[in-house]
Structure 1
């Protein structure tokens, strides 16, 4: 059975479209299970029915024309309960619904299993038999296993149809919606520009072109270059090989012939797809075909095709890289996994939104998007992004959704939302020069998180009182090597001067986890529990001392520097780091610089650090909670994994109790305590943090005025009453609802994170 299962899955994976995949399924399963009927019903939400999409054994004319309401018949029973139904005599079951058009009255036995993808039932896979027959446990298990394997393929095929404006049953549709996770709030309307790393055939998008002749010429040149490479390789090593091995080079050259792969690629280019996309499509089809072959020798040729096509792709991309990429107005950047460098390639005035198939709302690129104020949706794992290039899109960063093929009515509705947002932001600007003080005169300091010089300008424009987190890794991420001490000092000096005399808190290099340097790769099975933060810099004191020297050098004459240590788990790490900082200070003083020891603080990001807060406060000057990582580690939820994103919540009772513990312990040692995670920029969460006693809230500049508005609207006494209420609750959802209600009652409900687009 395992071999049959593998063969069916491979055949379905090779299908060109949804209907071809379904036809393969029903034909292969009927043969594998030696039964007389196999059918697939798919849920079409546009008509609210399960549609018979493919069948072997039922009347062919009924396929695509017969449907069952959501709860109708045995198919509806399987879908509703999301579990198999196995009947020896289906017609005697109370849920049996006779479909005249199918001719199914001739069949007695019925086995139906749900097709489930990410907890959603996509449809039902059914086998039927003429005689009364009880399908055994092995057959049922086979069908369940098969449906689980095929669910992703069917979901992907359906999604491709959806962005092209077609439902599973062929109905025209608009406003196809794909769910992800909010990365940065706001709404963007624009056109998709798909970006991707080089030399990977599997992620090259389709892209329509106007200059077909130029693409044909580029492909011909690339093909010729690879042929020349193969001939040169054959001549250089040919004498060392046996005759049959040398023949492989001739095989490769024939594969690259204009009448082989070359002809197929040229045909697709003439249909309007660019050379890279056409090559990727042809290569994928051939690789899948060879991988299914029974003969081991032929099956291994799949790797040869992939290698040859990758070589051609590399030449095509080399040619493409010499061209200046043109980005349209209202660009929405789309990629499998967006990186900060990809953002920087787009002119800021043209970039209106971003979509990343991988990652979550708390990944590094999402934090950067919030810093830049770009509406972003992360973790849209079912989005067939390769087909999106050039298409109109709507990014709903409030709800974490992406809309493709938007209708005129939807475009108009979201256009109104954009106008409302602009008016709302202009209304908040009146708060810039006002103090962040509650109606009962409690003062809260609002600082900002930065990583780029452009962040500083925006932060000062929003009335920030200091920098609670300068991410020093951002210049490292944007560089092709470790920046020198002088280069770092110039960058840090800009930040310190721009904010002087306000304090600037610089976090020492925090790489590892989801932040890796291309020139300093860290390969680990579990990077979030591995070599990151202070662990890396203590293991490489040459990097650490150069950075701390650069920080202190940059602070000369300004004296507004604070240094913060990330990923601390024990006191020894802190004392070792302080010794290195003191050494850097001593060296600079010996060089004649007029500098002094800056305040040193630690980030509370690990559960271990939570319970060491009081001891840590005895050796440092301040503490700051990094709520993003602290939430991740307390809940054991990878914040970059969209599959578990719904489990990640800073409103979890365990997180709130940990935060209160940190504040109480820090204040017991008379140390100031701040919070610089994304939680600080949530207006509702900010009320709870104020009530807990946090001295400073540090956030992205784009959320600062919203937080100031809610703090100026709520008294400290009402915030403490709210905190007392939520601390009695046992789940994050109830806490979130309670906080939202409190904001609503305070008249600041427009600051809620939920969307205003519904």
Structure 2
């Protein structure tokens, strides 16, 4: 059975379309199970029925014509129960129904298995036999297994519109399609799709021998130089938009083309007699396979960078290629696996949104999207991107949705949203210099989370009172090696100077989990529970001490530095980290003569263990900062980047609220300042709850700062505390969220809830 299942999966994966998938399934399952008939019924939302869409054993002309209601016949019973039904004599069952139009003979035995994807019954897979036959347990398990495999294929066909076209072939108009992805940079845009997919196909290059080796070498070097010029031009266009550390990615691309790297390998193969195109394709594909085979997610994503560079050089080798010169005014860059180098072919000022089929929130393209302020959706795995050139789409960076060919009503709704967001943004600008004071006179400090130069400038423009979280790992991510002490000092000094005299809270290197360095791979079966954050820093003091030195040296004369330690889970590791911090301070001040004030040192509370030792930790530090993203993830056992369980992630879950209450109480008991730097702080509802819980410093993305300030100025602390008292008794996150929305959606604050989805 297992071998048969493998064969079925292989043949299904090789099918050219969804119709062929259904034909293969019924034929192969009938063959393997040695039955008289196999059929598949699929759910049609438009008719609320299960439609016969594939059969081997019934009249093929009945495909698409037999409709069963959700409780009609044995098929309807399987669907309504969402469990297999195995009958030796189906005709005796009260739900048995005979449909003469199928041309079926009187099949007596019946085995049906539901096809379920994300709790939704998509269809039913059925086998039947003329004779009385009780299908045994292994056969039942086999059909259930095939159904589970088929569920993903049907869900994909549903997402891409293939299922709708198959169920409704006579409908001329294809309605709008909504494709889910990973929200990676906020905002909404409506634009025309420009597919970014170089025509050069590395896999289609034949192996050819060089007729003239010197001519091939000359052609190859010219193509390499042209590609380098393209990358340098892109690098130059980003000056002022990205910092030096962020733009260092383009230097990595250039070094990959160097004669001592991939370029050198190709030159060697050309000298051995291969043509330039053949040699280049072989070398690039070899590197791509190497990266794709790596377990580390960050390094696997680098395969797209190598492949992108490979296509660009190949395009320059193929001289007949003509480059696009005209672009729509509001263009949506779309491709299977976009990388930062994709910007080289398009005018940045015309890009309204970015959509990539592959990638995650931590891909370079997503980082650039957030830095430049372009709505970005990554991981839209079901998107038929190759067929969307020139189509109008809506990209919703708040929800991660991509809407193709939207109805005019929906388009107008989003146009109105864009218009209202512009009006709201202009209106909120008036609050930039206003204090964040509640309706009953209580002051809150609104700080920002930053890491990119653009974030910092926007933060200052929005009136941020300080930096609650500066992500120091970003300069590390943008290089192909560990940055030196002096490189780090310059980067940190720039941010400290920008915000002086405001406090800048610099989190020490926080890698691991979903943030791996290309030159420091971490291979773990469960990275979020593994070697990350402070654990890595303590295990590698040579990295940690250099960073601490760079931070403190950068603060000389400014003295606005605070140091934040991530992923603290016990007292001994906190004390070990503090010992190293004091060691560095003593070295710099007593041995090297730097005039530096001892920075405040804080611990991040993002691990459940830290919640239950909050007072012990609070006694040892100058402040605490709550990372609600990881704290929620760990408390609820939900990977928020996993689309299968992401809907279970909700920072308004009663368990999370109770943990936050315990943190605030513990910090108050030790008279230790406590702030929140997770995404919950940047959400209007989340901010109101945090204020009620006792947090008086909230740190968030600069784009959310004025929106949060506006709602906190409209709500009184006493009102917030009353709401908190009410929701703390509620059983689930949905109840909490609905109660807060209803209570806070007054006319004067309703607009502030637009795109309010960060915490759930």
CA distance, structure 2, for counterparts of residue 477 and residue 699 of structure 1: 21
Secondary structure at the aligned position of 2:536 is classed as: helix
Greater CA deviation, 720-729 or 608-617?
608-617
Structure 2 counterparts to residues 89-168 of structure 1, below 5 A: 89-91=89-91, 93-104=93-104, 106-162=106-162, 166-168=165-167
Secondary structure at the aligned position of 1:482 is classed as: coil
> What displacement does 1:227 show?
12
> What displacement does 1:603 show?
0.7
Aligned residue in 1 for 2:444: 444
> What displacement does 1:119 show?
2.0
Question: Deviations for 1:25-83, whole angstroms, at most 9, x for unmatched residues?
Answer: 11112222222221112223344433322211211222234333444433233222222
Secondary structure at the aligned position of 1:582 is classed as: helix
Q: Across the two proteins, how many residue pairs are aligned to each other?
A: 666
Aligned residue in 1 for 2:518: 518
Structure 2 counterparts to residues 501-580 of structure 1, below 5 A: 501-580=501-580
Secondary structure at the aligned position of 2:394 is classed as: strand
Aligned residue in 2 for 1:636: 637
Question: Deviations for 1:461-488, whole angstroms, at most 9, x for unmatched residues?
Answer: 1111111000011111111221122211
Aligned residue in 2 for 1:290: none
Aligned residue in 2 for 1:235: none
CA distance, structure 2, for counterparts of residue 346 and residue 449 of structure 1: 30
> What displacement does 1:690 show?
0.6
TM norm structure 2 = 0.79
> What displacement does 1:587 show?
3.5
CA distance, structure 1, for counterparts of residue 42 and residue 101 of structure 2: 18
1:319 aligns with 2:314: yes
> What displacement does 1:166 show?
3.3
Secondary structure at the aligned position of 2:440 is classed as: coil
Aligned residue in 2 for 1:737: 738
> What displacement does 1:619 show?
2.1
Does the aligned pair in 1 maintain the 2:178–2:403 contact within 8 Å?
A: yes
Does the aligned pair in 2 maintain the 1:373–1:702 contact within 8 Å?
A: no
Question: Deviations for 1:385-413, whole angstroms, at most 9, x for unmatched residues?
Answer: 56667654322344443323434444343
Secondary structure at the aligned position of 2:505 is classed as: strand
Q: 1:626 to 1:319 in 2, by over 3 A?
A: same
1:672 aligns with 2:673: yes
Secondary structure at the aligned position of 1:406 is classed as: coil
Q: 1:550 to 1:399 in 2, by over 3 A?
A: closer
1:751 aligns with 2:739: no
> What displacement does 1:181 show?
5.6
Question: Deviations for 1:580-633, whole angstroms, at most 9, x for unmatched residues?
Answer: 223333333344432221111111111122222222222211110011111111
1:597 aligns with 2:598: yes
Secondary structure at the aligned position of 2:208 is classed as: helix
Aligned residue in 2 for 1:582: 582
> What displacement does 1:133 show?
3.8
Q: 1:341 to 1:118 in 2, by over 3 A?
A: farther
CA distance, structure 1, for counterparts of residue 309 and residue 421 of structure 2: 44
> What displacement does 1:136 show?
3.6
Q: 1:434 to 1:95 in 2, by over 3 A?
A: same
CA distance, structure 2, for counterparts of residue 688 and residue 728 of structure 1: 14
Q: 1:123 to 1:533 in 2, by over 3 A?
A: same
Aligned residue in 1 for 2:691: 690
Q: 1:361 to 1:69 in 2, by over 3 A?
A: farther
CA distance, structure 2, for counterparts of residue 610 and residue 228 of structure 1: 71
Aligned residue in 2 for 1:707: 708
> What displacement does 1:169 show?
4.3
Structure 2 counterparts to residues 398-437 of structure 1, below 5 A: 398-437=398-437
Question: Deviations for 1:191-227, whole angstroms, at most 9, x for unmatched residues?
Answer: 55678xxxxxxxxxxx596xxxxx59x8876642799
Q: 1:145 to 1:706 in 2, by over 3 A?
A: same
CA distance, structure 2, for counterparts of residue 179 and residue 226 of structure 1: 47
CA distance, structure 1, for counterparts of residue 640 and residue 569 of structure 2: 20
Structure 2 counterparts to residues 201-280 of structure 1, below 5 A: 207=197, 215=200, 223-224=207-208
Secondary structure at the aligned position of 1:643 is classed as: coil
Q: 1:629 to 1:360 in 2, by over 3 A?
A: farther
CA distance, structure 2, for counterparts of residue 44 and residue 223 of structure 1: 49
Does the aligned pair in 2 maintain the 1:41–1:123 contact within 8 Å?
A: yes
> What displacement does 1:557 show?
1.8
CA distance, structure 1, for counterparts of residue 81 and residue 429 of structure 2: 52
> What displacement does 1:708 show?
0.7
Question: Deviations for 1:239-290, whole angstroms, at most 9, x for unmatched residues?
Answer: xxxxxxxxxxxxxxxxxx9xxxx9xxxxxxxxxxxx99xx99xxx9xxxxxx
Secondary structure at the aligned position of 2:520 is classed as: coil
Q: 1:312 to 1:528 in 2, by over 3 A?
A: closer
> What displacement does 1:638 show?
1.9
> What displacement does 1:125 show?
1.2
Aligned residue in 2 for 1:233: none
Q: CA-atom RMSD, angstroms?
A: 3.8
Secondary structure at the aligned position of 1:685 is classed as: helix
CA distance, structure 2, for counterparts of residue 652 and residue 321 of structure 1: 54
> What displacement does 1:726 show?
1.4
Question: Deviations for 1:347-382, whole angstroms, at most 9, x for unmatched residues?
Answer: 764444445667888999879866765444566554
Q: 1:93 to 1:420 in 2, by over 3 A?
A: farther
CA distance, structure 1, for counterparts of residue 80 and residue 150 of structure 2: 19
TM norm structure 1 = 0.79
CA distance, structure 2, for counterparts of residue 349 and residue 505 of structure 1: 33
CA distance, structure 1, for counterparts of residue 72 and residue 348 of structure 2: 52
Q: 1:116 to 1:356 in 2, by over 3 A?
A: farther
Question: Deviations for 1:405-454, whole angstroms, at most 9, x for unmatched residues?
Answer: 43444434322322222122222222112110011100000000001111
CA distance, structure 1, for counterparts of residue 694 and residue 124 of structure 2: 54
Secondary structure at the aligned position of 2:30 is classed as: helix
**Runs of 5+ consecutive residues of structure 1 not aligned to the other structure:** 196-206, 210-214, 230-256, 263-274, 285-310
CA distance, structure 1, for counterparts of residue 613 and residue 136 of structure 2: 58
CA distance, structure 1, for counterparts of residue 346 and residue 519 of structure 2: 23
CA distance, structure 2, for counterparts of residue 389 and residue 513 of structure 1: 36
